[in-house]
Amino acid sequence: MAPMSFRSLALVALSTLVFAQASDVESSAASGQRANALAACAALNKSLGSTLVQTSSGPEYDFSVHNAWNFQNTLFNPTCIVFPRQTSHVQTAMKAIFKAKAHYAVQAGSHSAMKGWNNVQDGVLILFSHMQSVVYDKPSHSVTFEPGIHWGNATSQLSQYGVAVVGGRVGDVGTGLLLGGGISFLSPSQGFAADNFLSLDVVLVDGTVVTATATNRYSDLFTALKGGANRFGIVTKYTVRAVDVGTPDDTPFYGGHILYNSSYAAALSKATAKYTRETTDPKAALLFTITTTLIDGVAEQVCVLFLFYRGSSLPQSIYGDFLAIPAVDTVLSPLSWTQILPARDPPNFVSSNRGFVQHFSASAVVPEDRLVLSALNHFQNFSSAFLHNGTTSGMNTTSFILTPILASQIAAGKAKGGNSMIAPGLKGPYLNVQRSEQFDAGVPDIPAFVQDGMNLYIKQVPRSPGLPLFMNECDQGQNVYETYGNFDALKATYKKYDPTRFNMQYTQGPMGL
């Protein structure tokens, strides 16, 4: 039997199996959950009206349900979707949800890889597609934006003023990134994206709205939200520091990407560890990826390095090791910020790939060659175990992604008041080690034996003691909060703002609070 047809058959078998489990006899818990959601939705339909609260399939409901980036999150049918236009609509929604004890989810940019974190079955989905404003305030050198904006849109709208916000590295990703900490190509000089918060409007679990800043009575909530994800409330407005990056006519950066033969995977991983150890210049940024993809049933692996320097060329003293390794293709030039983070992602970019199950997992290690090479070896075993001729894993692509967290990034965050992730004593540098997967079209879920392999890899590539795992890149089975440097404060803050633990019970998100 040819590998492809064997694969197709296996996939059909797999989907039948998963759907059979999902449509199992309904429990009374599930019907209670549905009744509560119906009550919340009926109340909201009454108070907000049927444009803001869509209870049955219409074009906007259908588009929104099927728009989540991870295919697993397009298979839930929320009882209703609330499309707020302003903070008070979110307050009304949370009051009704809290009162009815309804399950709920929040969706901003839709890019969570976590199943169930941005959509919900038999619950209320709050979706921010109508709250996308972004405003620059020159006197305070700050930017205020709503949660529905995507980084590419924010970049293009702010570029006329020569400023940017510290957001993501990919244009289609959204503001949920901030609540998980957030890493930008500006992070080496500016800290984690969340380190740049100035003020946050937060709708608490019971519908109360508060404005949290570093110095007011909600400063504990403000710090918790720098990495605390979705457990503390719903942010409806972000005010953050602006960063000067020039207009689209300016090219203050130099860089791009370099493609390498995968035979250099180990050399490049070691060079990334050394770069992380030795780079003290906060103008330097880098991201290293190794990707294996099944193309016509054959596994192909490539290495791609993304590198950007704020200056007119790449300093040899920083990038020399990478530039000395023979490249397959080198695309480097002077760049504007809008070229580094364009309004639209390139076609066929991973962010544009909708309709596939997606998965992440995270580790964080001190940048020693032996630790990086060990992680790489485990990745290579994982990759060849699940991406081989005639595989029935349903997996199409897996990547190994290294992000240096320079000491300058950690220092910048501390200078801006600190966050929930980094312990006061942690100076860094360290390396975030991410693994990500994309499955074939038609695969509705991750097969159990593949998840077992993922879990084995997570055990094989443990974080170094004292380092926080990166929320935005984790597997939902990883307890990220307990790795945070300020875990005790985070727990106390959660208890204060959600004393009945409603969010731990009625919305999906990180475990461990």
Does residue 176 interact with ligand FAD by CB under 6 A? yes
Show the tokens assigned to 153.
Answer: 């849109």
Does residue 297 interact with ligand NAG by CB under 6 A? yes
- Backbone torsions φ then ψ of 335, nearest 5 degrees: -140, 145
Q: Residue 131 or 407: which CB sits closer to ligand NAG? A: 131
The verdict on whether omega for the bond into residue 429 sits within 30 degrees of 0, i.e. cis, is yes
Q: Residue 73 or 383: which CB sits closer to ligand FAD? A: 73
How far apart (Å, rounded) are the C-alpha atoms in residues 275 and 269?
10
CB of 381 to ligand NAG, least distance (A): 4
How far apart (Å, rounded) are the C-alpha atoms in residues 152 and 168?
9
Which residues 6+ apart lie within 8 Å of 422 measured at CB? 410, 413, 414, 468, 485, 486
Show the tokens assigned to 293.
Answer: 């993809």
Please, what sign has the CA dihedral across residues 176, 181, 183, 187? Answer: positive
Does residue 440 interact with ligand NAG by CB under 6 A? yes
| Residue 56, amino acid | S
**Coil, helix or strand at residue 302:** strand
**Coil, helix or strand at residue 436:** strand
Does residue 261 interact with ligand NAG by CB under 6 A? yes
Does residue 397 interact with ligand FAD by CB under 6 A? no
CB of 115 to ligand NAG, least distance (A): 20
How far apart (Å, rounded) are the C-alpha atoms in residues 392 and 297?
11
Show the tokens assigned to 193.
Answer: 């994206």
Does residue 174 interact with ligand FAD by CB under 6 A? yes
Contact 431, 365 (CB under 8 A): yes
175 interface partner picked from ligand NAG, ligand FAD, none, CB below 5 to 8 A per type: ligand FAD
Q: Residue 429 or 509: which CB sits closer to ligand FAD? A: 509
CB of 497 to ligand NAG, least distance (A): 31
How far apart (Å, rounded) are the C-alpha atoms in residues 342 and 154?
10
In the list 107, 159, 187, 396, the residue contacting ligand NAG (rule: CB under 6 A) is 396
In the list 294, 307, 402, 458, the residue contacting ligand NAG (rule: CB under 6 A) is 294
Binding mask 89-108 for ligand FAD (x = CB under 6 A): ----------------xxxx
DSSP-derived secondary structure letter, 253: E
Binding mask 128-167 for ligand FAD (x = CB under 6 A): -------------------x--------------------
344 interface partner picked from ligand NAG, ligand FAD, none, CB below 5 to 8 A per type: ligand NAG
CA 88 from centroid of its chain's CA atoms? 27
483 interface partner picked from ligand NAG, ligand FAD, none, CB below 5 to 8 A per type: none
Binding mask 352-391 for ligand FAD (x = CB under 6 A): ----------------------------------------
Q: Is 460 exposed, middle or buried (0-12, 13-18, 19+ CB in 10 A)?
A: middle
Q: How many CB atoms are located within 10 Å of the residue 127 CB?
A: 27
Does residue 150 interact with ligand NAG by CB under 6 A? yes
In the list 170, 290, 431, 443, the residue contacting ligand FAD (rule: CB under 6 A) is 170
Does residue 328 interact with ligand NAG by CB under 6 A? yes
How far apart (Å, rounded) are the C-alpha atoms in residues 438 and 446?
10
State the residue for tokens 């009815």.
100
How far apart (Å, rounded) are the C-alpha atoms in residues 301 and 265?
9
What are the residues binding ligand FAD (CB under 6 A)?
69, 105-113, 117-118, 147, 168-170, 173-177, 179-180, 182-183, 230, 234-235, 350-351, 472, 509
What are the residues binding ligand NAG (CB under 6 A)?
3, 42, 45, 50, 55, 132, 150, 152-153, 261, 263, 293-295, 297-298, 328, 343-344, 381-382, 385, 389, 396-397, 440-441, 453, 456
